[in-house]
C-alpha cells in the first residue's frame, strides 16, 4: 500500500469519528478533506513556499476549529513529526510544525467539546504521548539555536504534561539528558526561561525521581539566581513560579532539604523575607511572594506531612540552621511588628515562629529573651504576641498567635515556670493603662487583665482567648497549676462585702455566663458568635487541664457547691454541643479521680452519688462515647491552614483579611477552626487517658459503701453469765457473717458498675431504682446472670451453626468442582474418541490407496476457493459502498459549485491522473 492509500484510510477514520460526533454534517466532512489536502501539500509538495503556506493554513484552521483538531489528530501527527525529524535545516517548517502541534493540543471550543463529549485536545495529547520517540524528538528540539523553535517546544511539552503527565514523565526520564536540557532552559532568554519554569513546576509536583535529578543538576542555584535577578519579594509572577518550584523540590523529600542546607544554604531563601525600608508598600503579588517563601520555611520546619525515618533529625537540623541565620527576626517583624502587612502573611509568619521553637530548647530560650521594638515601646516578643491574641479582630490571626504559645509551652517546663512567675494576685480592679505603660506591663498582669474582664459578651471573647494561653502554661506542669491556684483577684462585689476570689472560681463563673449569653443569642434574631462555639470549649479545656493530676485544684473547684450543680446541668443539657457535654463529663470524672477528701460533702462518693442521681451512670458514660465520635476526635491531626501555593489559589489565599469573619462562625460545629484547634493531638491524648482512669475510679467508688457502722448491734453485747470464750466465739461468727454479707454486696455493686461502664446501656438510673431492697437485688442479679449464661449459650450455638454452614458450603463447592472436573474429563474423552475415530478412518483410506485422498484434497481446495471468492465479493461490496458515498459527496459538491457559477469540469481536469492504477495493476501482474 502506498502513502496515498494510507492517507485515504486515515481520512476515512477521521470522517467516521467526525460523523459519529457531529452527525455526518457537511461542514465537518469539508474540514476533514481540507485538513487532508493541506497535509498532502505539506508531505508531497514540490515547492518549498507552497509547503510553508500549506503549513500556515493548517496551523490557522487547527487553532480555530474543533472538528479540524479532531481530523488532524487522526492523520496529521505522522506528517509533522516526519518534518521535525527529517527537515531540521528548514527553520520555517520546523517552527510551523511545532506551532501547529501546540494548536492541536490547545482546547478551542469548550462548549462544543462538552456538548459532543469529545475533547480533541485531550485525544491528541494521548496520541502524541503514546510513543516515547516523539517525546525524545521534542526534547532534542531544545538544542536548536532558533528562539521560536525552543519556545514552541516548551509550550508543546507543557501542554502534553497537562493532559498526559505520567507518560511524559516516564519518557523524559528514559531520554538521555532529558532533564538536563530542561534545566538549561532556565538560563535562556526571559520568555523561554519563564516557559521552562512553568514546565518544571508542573513536572516536579509528584515525581520523586525527577525532583532528585533536578536538584543534582543544579536547580537550587538557578532558582535563587532568578529570584535575585527579579528583585526578591518585590518581583513579579516569575518569583512566585520560582518559589513554587522550590517548594515542590523540597516537599516530602528530606534528601533535597539536606542538600539545600549543606550546599546553597538557607540565606537566599531568608533574604526573600527581608524587606527594604523603601518597599513597605505591599502589592498583591508581593504578598503572594512572601507567602510562598513562608510556606517553604514552614515546610522545612515541619519536615513535610509524612513521618519518614530521620524526619525529626532533619527537622531539628533545619530549626537550628534557620535560627542561626536569624530567621526569627524576619518572622517576628512580619508577624508582630509589621501591622501594615496582609493578615495572611502575619498569620503564616506566626505559625512559622511556632514551628521554629517547637521542642527546640535553644530556640525556645531565644524567643523567651527576644525583645522587639525600640524604646520607649520595646517589649518582650511574647508580650506582643499575647497582645495580638487579646486584641485582634481576626479569628485566623488569633489562632496563629495562639499556636505560638502552644509550641512554646509544649515540653518546656522552664518556659512555663517563667510565664507563671509573672502571674501574681490582683488586689486592685482592672483599669485601662496608657499606651506607654501598656508596653511595660508584665506578661502575667496582661494575662490576668484578659482573664478578669467585665461581664459582657465582647470581653468574654477576650477571656476565652486568655484562657487558651493559660491552658498551655498549665499543661502537664504540676508546680504551675499549684502556683496559679493561689492567685486571687478582687471580687466584683463592693469592697465592703467582697473578699478576694480565687482565679479558678472566676473562670467557672465566666463559663456559666457564656452559657447564658449563648442561650440569649440563640433566641435573638441576630445571634452573636462570641458565646456559641468558642468560649465554652476553650474554658472547659482549661479546667480539664488544670484539674488533671492536681487534687488541690479539684478541692478548690468543689469548695463552691454551685460548681458541681452547674456541671451536672451542662452534662445533661441536650441543647449544648457534644463537646461541651463531653468536656463537662471529663471534669466531673476528674472530681472523682483526683479527689483527696476522705469524707464529707466533697468526697468522691458524693460526686459519684450526684452523677448517679442527676444524670445516671449509663447516660454519663455515653457522653464520652458521643464526644469520641465527633469529628475533631476522629481527625486529631491539626488542619492544614495553607495549601501549597499555586497560581490557581494564590489570589484567594492573599484575601484572608477581606473575608467576613462571620462566615467562619456560620460553619458547622465540627468545621469550626476554633473548636478544631481546641482538640489538638496532645489534648485528645490527655482525654483518652483520663477517660480510662475515670471509668475505673467511678466503678471502684461505686463498689464501696460510704458510711461506716456507728451503732453497735445487740448481738455484739455480752450476755449476762456468758463466758468469755463463748462470747468471743459468738463475736467471731457474727463478724464472719457480716464480712460475707459485705463482700457479697460489694461484689454486686462492682458488677453493676462495671456493666454500666462497659456497655453504656440505654436506660438511666433514677432515685427510685436505688431504693430496691436486697431481696430484689438478689433476684435481679440472679436473673441477669441466668440471662447472661443463656445469651452465651445462644452465641455458642450460633457460632457452631455458622461453622457447620460454612463447612457444608465448602463441601458443596468441592462437590460442584468435582462434577465440573468430571464433566470436563468426559468431554475430553469423547473428543479424543472422535479424533481417534477420524484418524483411524484416514489411515484406512491411505491403506486403500491415494486416489480418495487426492479427491479429498481437491475438494478442500475447491471449498477454499469458494470461501476466498465470497470474501473478495464482500470486500468489493464494501468498497463499492464507500465509492458510492464518495460519489454522492462529489455530486453534492459539484452541484454547489455549479450554483456558485464555477466550471466543475475545469476544476476536475487533471485530477486522478496520478492515481497509481497502472502501478497497482503492474503489481498484481507481478504477483
**In angstroms, what CA-CA distances link 620 with 377, 651, 669, 683?**
52, 48, 22, 21
Alpha carbon distance 559, 137 (integer Å) = 84
3-state secondary structure of 526: coil
pLDDT of residue 483: 95
pLDDT at 102 exceeding the cut of 70: yes
Compute and round to an integer the Cα radius of gyration of the chain: 43
pLDDT band at 641 (very low <50, low <70, confident <90, very high): very low
- Match 468471743 to its residue by C-alpha cell: 728
Mean pLDDT of the region 502-525: 79
pLDDT value, residue 110: 59
Tell me how far CA of residue 33 lies from CA of 9, 68, 72, in angstroms.
Answer: 12, 10, 10
* Residue pLDDT, tens place only, 870-884: 777 777 777 777 777
Lowest mean pLDDT among 309-318, 504-513, 520-529, 802-811: 520-529
Q: Which residue has the cell 499575647?
A: 386
Q: Can you tell me the distance from the alpha carbon of 763 to that of 752, in angstroms, rounded to the nearest whole number?
A: 13
pLDDT band at residue 421 under the 50/70/90 scheme? very high
- Return the pLDDT at 790: 67
Q: At what angle do helices 381-391 and 361-369 cross, to 10 degrees?
A: 80
In the predicted structure, residue 344 carries a pLDDT above the cut 70: yes
Bridge-partner residues for 502, per DSSP?
488
Q: At 16, is the pLDDT very low, low, confident or very high (cuts 50, 70, 90)?
A: very low
| Helix (H), strand (E) at residue 838 | helix 774-848
Asked if pLDDT for residue 292 goes beyond 80, the answer is yes
In the chain, the percentage of residues whose pLDDT exceeds 70 is: 73
749 pLDDT exceeds 70?
no
How many of the other CB atoms lie within 10 Å of CB of 474? Answer: 25
- Provide the pLDDT confidence category of residue 487 given band limits of 50, 70 and 90: very high
The more confidently predicted of residues 793 and 304 is 793
Residue 566, judged by CB atoms within 10 A of its CB (0-12, 13-18, 19+), counts as: middle
- Nearest Cα to Cα of residue 69 among 122, 24, 7: 122
pLDDT at 465: 93
- Residues 689, 685: Cα–Cα separation, whole Å: 6
CB 450 within 8 A of CB 466: yes
Q: Per residue in 50-74, pLDDT tens?
A: 999 999 999 999 888 888 888 888 7
What burial letters (b/e) apply to 350-389, b meaning 16+ CB within 10 Å? bbbbbbbbbebeebbebbbebebeeeeeebbbbbbbbbbb
- Residue 480, Cβ density class (10 Å: 0-12 exposed, 13-18 middle, ≥19 buried): buried
The residue ranking higher by pLDDT, 824 or 767, is 824
Decide if 436 contacts 383 (C-beta within 8 A): no
Q: What is the pLDDT of residue 24?
A: 43
The three-point CA angle 807-808-809 to 5° equals: 90
pLDDT score for 4: 34
By three-state DSSP, how is residue 206 classified?
coil
Q: What is the mean pLDDT of the chain?
A: 78
User: Which of these ranges, 268-277, 350-359, 376-385, 596-605, has the smallest mean pLDDT?
Assistant: 596-605
| Rounded distance between C-alpha atoms, residue 338 and residue 294, angstroms | 15
Any idea which residue has 478551542 for its cell? Answer: 108
pLDDT band at 501 (very low <50, low <70, confident <90, very high): confident
Rounded to an integer, what distance in angstroms lies between the CA atom of residue 18 and that of residue 426? Answer: 85
Q: What value does the mean pLDDT take over residues 618-629?
A: 88
Q: Are 570 and 585 in contact (CB under 8 A)?
A: no
**Which is more confident, 7 or 394?**
394
Quote the CA–CA distance of 876 and 864 in Å, as a whole number: 18
How large is the average pLDDT for residues 179-185? Answer: 91
| For residues 647-665, average pLDDT | 50
- 117 pLDDT tier (thresholds 50, 70, 90): low
pLDDT tens digits, one per residue of 127-168: 888 888 888 999 999 989 999 999 999 999 998 888 888 888
Query: Can you tell me whether residue 730 is helix, strand or coil?
Result: helix
Give, in order, the Cα–Cα distances in Å from 509 to each of 276, 287, 335, 517, 610.
49, 43, 34, 12, 21
- The answer to whether 678 and 632 are in contact (CB under 8 A) is yes
Q: Counting every residue, how long is the chain?
A: 927
> Of the candidates 473, 570, 536, which has an alpha carbon nearest to the alpha carbon of residue 674?
536
**How far is C-alpha 865 from the chain's CA centre?**
68
Q: What is the mean pLDDT of residues 315-343?
A: 92
Q: What is the mean pLDDT of residues 584-602?
A: 86
- Which stretch of 256-265, 300-309, 490-499, 662-671 has the lowest confidence by average pLDDT? 662-671
Residue 664 above 50 pLDDT?
Answer: no
Mean pLDDT of 727-753: 69
pLDDT band at 799 (very low <50, low <70, confident <90, very high): confident
Q: What is the pTM of this model?
A: 0.72
Neighbours of 168 (CB within 10 A): 26
Amino acid at each position: 500500500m502506498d502513502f496515498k492509500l494510507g492517507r485515504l484510510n486515515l481520512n476515512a477514520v477521521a470522517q467516521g469519528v467526525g460523523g459519529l460526533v457531529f452527525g455526518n454534517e457537511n461542514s465537518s466532512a469539508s474540514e476533514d478533506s481540507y485538513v487532508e489536502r493541506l497535509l498532502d501539500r505539506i508531505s508531497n509538495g514540490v515547492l518549498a513556499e507552497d509547503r510553508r503556506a500549506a503549513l500556515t493554513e493548517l496551523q490557522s484552521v487547527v487553532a480555530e476549529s474543533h472538528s479540524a483538531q479532531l481530523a488532524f489528530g487522526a492523520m496529521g501527527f505522522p506528517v509533522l513529526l516526519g518534518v521535525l525529524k527529517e527537515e531540521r535545516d528548514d527553520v520555517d517548517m520546523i517552527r510551523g510544525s511545532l506551532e501547529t502541534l501546540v494548536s492541536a493540543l490547545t482546547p478551542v471550543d469548550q462548549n462544543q467539546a462538552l456538548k459532543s463529549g469529545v475533547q480533541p485536545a485531550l485525544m491528541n495529547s494521548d496520541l502524541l504521548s503514546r510513543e516515547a520517540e516523539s517525546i525524545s524528538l521534542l526534547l532534542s528540539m531544545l538544542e536548536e539555536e532558533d528562539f521560536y523553535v525552543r519556545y514552541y517546544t516548551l509550550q508543546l511539552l507543557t501542554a502534553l504534561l497537562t493532559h498526559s503527565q505520567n507518560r511524559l514523565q516516564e519518557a523524559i526520564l528514559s531520554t538521555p539528558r532529558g532533564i538536563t536540557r530542561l534545566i538549561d532552559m532556565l538560563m535562556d532568554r526571559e520568555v523561554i526561561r519563564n516557559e521552562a519554569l512553568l514546565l518544571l513546576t508542573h513536572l516536579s509536583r509528584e515525581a520523586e525521581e525527577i525532583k532528585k535529578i533536578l536538584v543534582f543538576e543544579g536547580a537550587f542555584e538557578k532558582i535563587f539566581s532568578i529570584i535575585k535577578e527579579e528583585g526578591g519579594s518585590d518581583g513579579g509572577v516569575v518569583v512566585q513560579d520560582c518559589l513554587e518550584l522550590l517548594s515542590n523540590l523540597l516537599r516530602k523529600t528530606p534528601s533535597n532539604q539536606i542538600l539545600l542546607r549543606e550546599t546553597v544554604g538557607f540565606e537566599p531563601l531568608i533574604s526573600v523575607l527581608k524587606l527594604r525600608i523603601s518597599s513597605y508598600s505591599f502589592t498583591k503579588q508581593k504578598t503572594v511572594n512572601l507567602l510562598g517563601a513562608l510556606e517553604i520555611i514552614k515546610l522545612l520546619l515541619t519536615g513535610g506531612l509524612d513521618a519518614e525515618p530521620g524526619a525529626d533529625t532533619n527537622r531539628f537540623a533545619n530549626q537550628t540552621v534557620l535560627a542561626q541565620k536569624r530567621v526569627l527576626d524576619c518572622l517576628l517583624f512580619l508577624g508582630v511588628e509589621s501591622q501594615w502587612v496582609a493578615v495572611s502573611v502575619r498569620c503564616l509568619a506566626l505559625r512559622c515562629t511556632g514551628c521554629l521553637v517547637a521542642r527546640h530548647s535553644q530556640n525556645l530560650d531565644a524567643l523567651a529573651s527576644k525583645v522587639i521594638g525600640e524604646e520607649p515601646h520595646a517589649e518582650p516578643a511574647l508580650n506582643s504576641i499575647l497582645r495580638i491574641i487579646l486584641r485582634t479582630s481576626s479569628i485566623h490571626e488569633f489562632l496563629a498567635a495562639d499556636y505560638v504559645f502552644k509550641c512554646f509551652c509544649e515540653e518546656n517546663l522552664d518556659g512555663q515556670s517563667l510565664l507563671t512567675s509573672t502571674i501574681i494576685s490582683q488586689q486592685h480592679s482592672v483599669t485601662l493603662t496608657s499606651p506607654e505603660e501598656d508596653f511595660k506591663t508584665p506578661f502575667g498582669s496582661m494575662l490576668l487583665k484578659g482573664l478578669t474582664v467585665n461581664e459582657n459578651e465582647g470581653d468574654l471573647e477576650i477571656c476565652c482567648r486568655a484562657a487558651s494561653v493559660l491552658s498551655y502554661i498549665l499543661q502537664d506542669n504540676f508546680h504551675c497549676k499549684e502556683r496559679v491556684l493561689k492567685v486571687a483577684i478582687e471580687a466584683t462585689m463592693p469592697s465592703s462585702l467582697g473578699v478576694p476570689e480565687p482565679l479558678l472560681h472566676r473562670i467557672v463563673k465566666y463559663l456559666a455566663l457564656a452559657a447564658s449569653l449563648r442561650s440569649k443569642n440563640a433566641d435573638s434574631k441576630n445571634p452573636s458568635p462570641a458565646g456559641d462555639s468558642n468560649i465554652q470549649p476553650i474554658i472547659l479545656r482549661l479546667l480539664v487541664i488544670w484539674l488533671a493530676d492536681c487534687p488541690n485544684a479539684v478541692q478548690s473547684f468543689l469548695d463552691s457547691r454551685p460548681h458541681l450543680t452547674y456541671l451536672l446541668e451542662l452534662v445533661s443539657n441536650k441543647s449544648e454541643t457534644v463537646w461541651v457535654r463531653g468536656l463537662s463529663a471529663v471534669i466531673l470524672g476528674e472530681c472523682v479521680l483526683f479527689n483527696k477528701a476522705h469524707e464529707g460533702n466533697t468526697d468522691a462518693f458524693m460526686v459519684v452519688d450526684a452523677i448517679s442521681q442527676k444524670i445516671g451512670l449509663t447516660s454519663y458514660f455515653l457522653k464520652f462515647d458521643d464526644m469520641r465520635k465527633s469529628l475533631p476526635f476522629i481527625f486529631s491531626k491539626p488542619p492544614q491552614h495553607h495549601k501549597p501555593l499555586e497560581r490557581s489559589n494564590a489570589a484567594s489565599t492573599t484575601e484572608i483579611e477581606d473575608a467576613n469573619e462571620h462566615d467562619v462562625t456560620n460553619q458547622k460545629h465540627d468545621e469550626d477552626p476554633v473548636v478544631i484547634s481546641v482538640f489538638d493531638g496532645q489534648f485528645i491524648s490527655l482525654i483518652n487517658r483520663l477517660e480510662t482512669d475515670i471509668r475505673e475510679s467511678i466503678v471502684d467508688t461505686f463498689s464501696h459503701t460510704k458510711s461506716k457502722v456507728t451503732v453497735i448491734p445487740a448481738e455484739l453485747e455480752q450476755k449476762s453469765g456468758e463466758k468469755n470464750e463463748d462470747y468471743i466465739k459468738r463475736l467471731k461468727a457474727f463478724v464472719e457473717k457480716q464480712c460475707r454479707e459485705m463482700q457479697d454486696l460489694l461484689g454486686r455493686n462492682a458488677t453493676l458498675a462495671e456493666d454500666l461502664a462497659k456497655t453504656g446501656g440505654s436506660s438511666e438510673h433514677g432515685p427510685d431504682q436505688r431504693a430496691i431492697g436486697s431481696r430484689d437485688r438478689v433476684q435481679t442479679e440472679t436473673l441477669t446472670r441466668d440471662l447472661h449464661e443463656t445469651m452465651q449459650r445462644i452465641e455458642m450455638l450460633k457460632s457452631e451453626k455458622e461453622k457447620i454452614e460454612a463447612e457444608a458450603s465448602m463441601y458443596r463447592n468441592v462437590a460442584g468442582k468435582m462434577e465440573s472436573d468430571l464433566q470436563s474429563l468426559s468431554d475430553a474423552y469423547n473428543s479424543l474418541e472422535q479424533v481417534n475415530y477420524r484418524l483411524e478412518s484416514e489411515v484406512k483410506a491411505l491403506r486403500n490407496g491415494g486416489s480418495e485422498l487426492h479427491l479429498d484434497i481437491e475438494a478442500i481446495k475447491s471449498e477454499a476457493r469458494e470461501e476466498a471468492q465470497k470474501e473478495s465479493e464482500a470486500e468489493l461490496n464494501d468498497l463499492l459502498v464507500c465509492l458510492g458515498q464518495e460519489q454522492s459527496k462529489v455530486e453534492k459538491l459539484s452541484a454547489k459549485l455549479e450554483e456558485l457559477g464555477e466550471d466543475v469540469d475545469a476544476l476536475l481536469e487533471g485530477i486522478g491522473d496520478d492515481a497509481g492504477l497502472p502501478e497497482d495493476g503492474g503489481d498484481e501482474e507481478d504477483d
